[in-house]
Structure 1
């Protein structure tokens, strides 16, 4: 899709972005909010600034790949089907 997509479609929340600060999430009335990832059972599995940063980085990576002509229109934060491997002992 070329052009600017429609925004401001959420009823109870607002998401904005700035190239210097990444995503900002608030309630519709301006109170601070946060992004979360919820699994299929409704459990919150990730929440907070790390989720917003990961979403921002994936978004930027897709855009940059497109600009440099690599054609990678999909960017994964880890290999599809694999969970992140911890280095902790």
Structure 2
């Protein structure tokens, strides 16, 4: 079964790499360490750093595992849809 080629290397200013036992790593185009961030539609950084990289990695792996066991149609969420985030701090 062939799922097709996966295009990588399309970022102009950053490099991403992943190894199954190391997770996801980000670097600038010239090799300096970088952080992964989640940016809202207004351009505000709402999460960044190692925790984001780990969460992205875990969601990607969970989705891939679902695909391998024949549940590729399943969506992976980091918290229950419609509920407050599990790790949300009290105001």
Relative to the length of structure 1, the TM-score reads: 0.87
Cα deviation, residue 79, structure 1: 2.4
Show the counterpart of 2:54: 53
Kindly report which structure 2 residues correspond to 1:8-27, keeping only aligned pairs within 5 A, or say none. 8-27=9-28
Question: Which ranges in structure 2 are unaligned for 5 or more consecutive residues?
Answer: none
Q: After alignment, is 3-12 or 42-51 more displaced? A: 3-12
Question: Which ranges in structure 1 are unaligned for 5 or more consecutive residues?
Answer: none
1:34 aligns with 2:31: no
Q: Which runs of 4+ in 1 moved over 6 A?
A: none
Give deviations 1:55-80, integer Å, cap 9, x for gaps. Answer: 00000000101111123342111123
CA RMSD of aligned residues (A): 2.1
